[in-house]
């Protein structure tokens, strides 16, 4: 699922409307006049949509992406960041579930290594933020054992 802001949704919907009319690409000028956005803001939104692979944006022309994607709209950039963090939390939780042994334990260094260098490629800050968040939600508990530090997955 891809999360976009309300303004990105407005632009994307307008691109969908104009897509059939402009098979060679919708000129940015046409979008700007129709939507009433400032050119700088419109370009920024188009670049964001392009990064999310919803549109193809080049040479001041826009086309819809060939791939259909599930899109979720949020009210603001703050909400977008929060949703993305929640999605990363869910992905991290799934990863932890795969890493735990039969006693629901995973070594601290192993978990952190998988979060940092595995498929998620989290930053140090994001990794610790997610671990703390999971601890605060009661899903993960740090455990000290004689042979090292572990996390207990509470289910």
- Reported CATH class of domain 2-72: mainly alpha
Domains 2-72 and 76-153 equal at CATH topology level: yes
Whether the pTM exceeds 0.75: the reply is: no
User: For the segment 20-79, what is each residue's pLDDT rounded down to a tens digit?
Assistant: 888 899 999 999 888 888 989 999 999 989 988 889 998 999 998 876 777 767 676 667
- Reported CATH class of domain 76-153: mainly alpha
User: For the segment 42-51, what is each residue's pLDDT rounded down to a tens digit?
Assistant: 999 999 899 8
Q: Where are the beta strands (DSSP E) in the chain?
A: 2-5, 26-27, 55-58, 61-64, 71-74, 105-107, 140-145, 148-153
Answer yes or no: is pLDDT of 1 > 80: no
Name the residue ranges covered by the structural domains of the chain.
2-72, 76-153
């Amino acid at each position: 699922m891809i999360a976009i802001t309300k303004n990105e949704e407005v632009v994307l919907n307008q691109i969908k409307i104009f897509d059939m009319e402009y098979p060679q690409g919708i000129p940015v000028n046409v979008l700007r006049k129709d939507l009433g956005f400032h050119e700088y803001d419109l370009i920024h939104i188009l670049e964001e949509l392009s990064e999310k692979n919803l549109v193809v944006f080049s040479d001041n022309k826009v086309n819809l992406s060939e791939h259909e994607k599930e899109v979720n709209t949020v009210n603001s950039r703050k909400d977008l960041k929060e949703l993305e963090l929640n999605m990363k939390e869910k992905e991290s939780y799934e990863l932890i579930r795969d890493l735990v042994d039969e006693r629901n334990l995973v070594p601290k260094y192993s978990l952190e290594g998988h979060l940092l260098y595995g498929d998620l490629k989290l930053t140090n800050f994001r990794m610790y933020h997610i671990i703390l968040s999971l601890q605060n939600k009661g899903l993960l508990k740090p455990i000290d054992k004689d042979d090292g530090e572990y996390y207990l997955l509470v289910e």
